[in-house]
């Protein structure tokens, strides 16, 4: 049986991907790349929103597995353990 991860997104991401809002997001994944692929399957466009055209994490996006920020921002090969919590966050900027 493959590991299941619980994915949490910032509310800002729910604005762009309402299909991901509300229910708890549980995915089958053993790496961060697999988490992103499953999120893309559920909400087309998600992967390109958080990753660039080469599949690398965009500069203003951070992903944490439990409390650790991922180390591999290029291939997203960081492991996701059984019942891990994965947080996807996007920095926002602006002001008045």
Rounded to the nearest 5°, which phi and psi values hold at 7? -105, 130
65 domain residue, yes or no: yes
Place of tokens 């549980």: 26
Q: Does residue 21 belong to any structural domain of this protein?
A: yes
Residue 95 lies in a domain: no
* Residue 56 pLDDT: 96
Q: Quick check: 70 and 63 in contact, CB under 8 A?
A: yes
If one counts the domains in the chain, the total is 1
Report which of residues 13 and 92 the model is more confident about. 13
Cβ–Cβ under 8 Å, residues 38 and 62: no
Q: What pLDDT shows up at residue 21?
A: 87
What is the DSSP secondary-structure string of the chain?
A: ---EEEEEE-HHHHHH-GGGSSS-EEEE-SBHHHHHHHHHHHSTTHHHHHB-TTSPBPTTEEEEETTEEPS-TTT---B--TTEEEEEEE------
* pLDDT value at 94 more than 60: no
How do residues 55-64 score in pLDDT, each as one tens digit? 999 999 999 9
Average pLDDT, integer, range 37-48: 96
Portion of the chain with pLDDT greater than 90, in percent? 75
- CATH classification of the domain holding 25: 3.10.20.30
Residue 96 covered by a domain: no
Residue 83 lies in a domain: yes
Q: Which residue range(s) make up the domain with 45?
A: 4-90
pLDDT band of 18, cuts 50, 70, 90: very high
Q: What are the tens digits of pLDDT across the range 21-38?
A: 877 899 999 999 999 999
């Amino acid at each position: 049986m493959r590991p299941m991860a619980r994915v949490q997104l910032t509310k800002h991401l729910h604005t762009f991907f309402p299909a991901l809002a509300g229910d708890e997001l549980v995915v089958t994944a053993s790496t961060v790349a697999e988490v992103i692929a499953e999120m893309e399957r559920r909400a087309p466009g998600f992967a390109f929103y958080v990753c660039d055209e080469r599949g690398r994490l965009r500069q203003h996006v951070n992903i944490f597995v439990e409390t650790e920020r991922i180390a591999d921002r290029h291939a997203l090969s960081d492991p996701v353990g059984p019942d891990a919590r994965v947080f996807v966050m996007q920095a926002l900027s602006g002001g008045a």
